[in-house]
Structure 1
Amino acid sequence: MLTVGDKFPSFKLQAVKGGAEGLGGPGKSFTEITNESDAGKWKIVFFWPKDFTFICPTEIAAFGKLNGEFADRDAVVYGASTDSEFVHLNWRVHNDDIRDLPFAMLADTKRELAESLGILDKNEGVALRATFIVDPDGTIQWASVNGLNVGRNPQEVVRVLDALQTDELCPCNWEKGKDTLDPAKLFEQAA
């Protein structure tokens, strides 16, 4: 699996647009998203195993509710699975929890992005529940992966993004607005 310090792979995928545009129907709902889209922004890229399942919409909806917080941090969110853009659209239309999803749903139908990231489940051939925080230069700064049966905590992704954006030393459970660590002060206190 690619990890911190690795370049996020190049990709070019079809997607269902976020927001109301994503519900316009075939021909109006789709767009192409690449690794060059939203250049200069932080990117939160998270994968789920399959559309029309049980854990996935809870995570997707939770990321959707935090979309404004990510935008306030100059970050864009991309959700992805190995399902097609047509399946994504149908799922959004028929699932109240994700109907108004504000971010794009990427269709990695050839599994090229999931494979290059190293996040395909060896038995099921679908993406694991992987999350990546990618800096504006395209470098992975945080990577997390859960098995197929355990959902993740999107609020933790916000917390880690906040910590990364301080460019400081952040202690365990650090939260935005709290003090970061100053090594010089720590050495003074120890002396």
Structure 2
Amino acid sequence: MANKVLSLGASFPDFNKKAVVSIEKGKEFYDLSYEEIKNSGKWMVMFWWPKDFTFVCPTEIAEFNKHNADFADRDAVLVGASTDSEFVHVAWRRDHEDLRGLQFPMLADTSKSLAEELGILEENEKVAYRATFIVDPQGIVRWVSMYDLNVGRNVKEVLRVLDALQTDELCPCNWQKGEATINA
């Protein structure tokens, strides 16, 4: 039986994991903690992919990277994650042209403990589902989405939801930043 996915209103769990932040020799790795992100006072958008060196995953990672400045403009820290090791992450970044210039950390959850705590660990292969969490500056999960292993997500929808959450108002279906919210 699958784990229960961490849901809306829950506190995002603390973590301290190795992350790949560069492909430059000697500067590849960084110990990233959730405490550090929380202390920044920013939102966090954490997105998970199943495995490095696959086909759908780099399309998503590259798309998130294209929009890194959009997340930064919204006071959000972007973190990518999988259950692969930091060594596999750095090898993949060096090997894949679209991943060499990533501007956000690639978290290595080699123990699978964070993926398990989040309830996003696939039962058979023990890899993370394509899950995305938007967490507010107080550490509360405000949005969760999960996709089947073979379907890529829509980064513009993640930005749209982040925009809507940050209005702290009622946002109608298909609402876009700049449009009127609902006055109830």
The TM-score range, normalised by the shorter chain, is over 0.9
Could you tell me how far apart the structure 1 residues matched to 2:152 and 2:13 are?
24
Higher Rg: 1
Task: Name the SS for the 1:123 alignment partner.
Answer: coil
Alpha-carbon distance, 1:97 to partner? 0.9
Alpha-carbon distance, 1:169 to partner? 0.1
Alpha-carbon distance, 1:125 to partner? 0.6
Alpha-carbon distance, 1:65 to partner? 0.4
Alpha-carbon distance, 1:111 to partner? 0.2
What runs of 5+ residues in structure 1 fail to find an aligned partner?
184-191
Alpha-carbon distance, 1:28 to partner? 1.6
What runs of 5+ residues in structure 2 fail to find an aligned partner?
none
Tell me the TM-score normalized by structure 1: 0.92
**Which of 10, 15, 30 lines up with 2:19 in the alignment?**
15
Residue 24 (structure 1) aligns with: 24
Number of aligned residues: 178
Residue 5 (structure 1) aligns with: 9
Could you tell me how far apart the structure 2 residues matched to 1:109 and 1:117 are?
14
Residue 180 (structure 2) aligns with: 179
Residue 118 (structure 2) aligns with: 117
Could you tell me how far apart the structure 2 residues matched to 1:47 and 1:24 are?
24
Sequence identity (%): 61
Task: Name the SS for the 1:51 alignment partner.
Answer: coil
- Write out per-residue CA displacement over residues 52-96 of structure 1, whole angstroms, 9 at most, x where no aligned residue: 000000000000000000000000100000001111001000101
Residue 50 (structure 2) aligns with: 49
Alpha-carbon distance, 1:123 to partner? 1.4
* Mean CA deviation greater in 61-70 or 36-45: 36-45
Could you tell me how far apart the structure 1 residues matched to 2:11 and 2:112 are?
18
Alignment of 1:1-191 (within 5 A): 1-17=5-21, 22-25=22-25, 27-38=26-37, 39=39, 40-183=41-184
- Write out per-residue CA displacement over residues 27-47 of structure 1, whole angstroms, 9 at most, x where no aligned residue: 321001111123211000010
What amino acid is aligned across from residue 140 of structure 1 in structure 2?
A: V
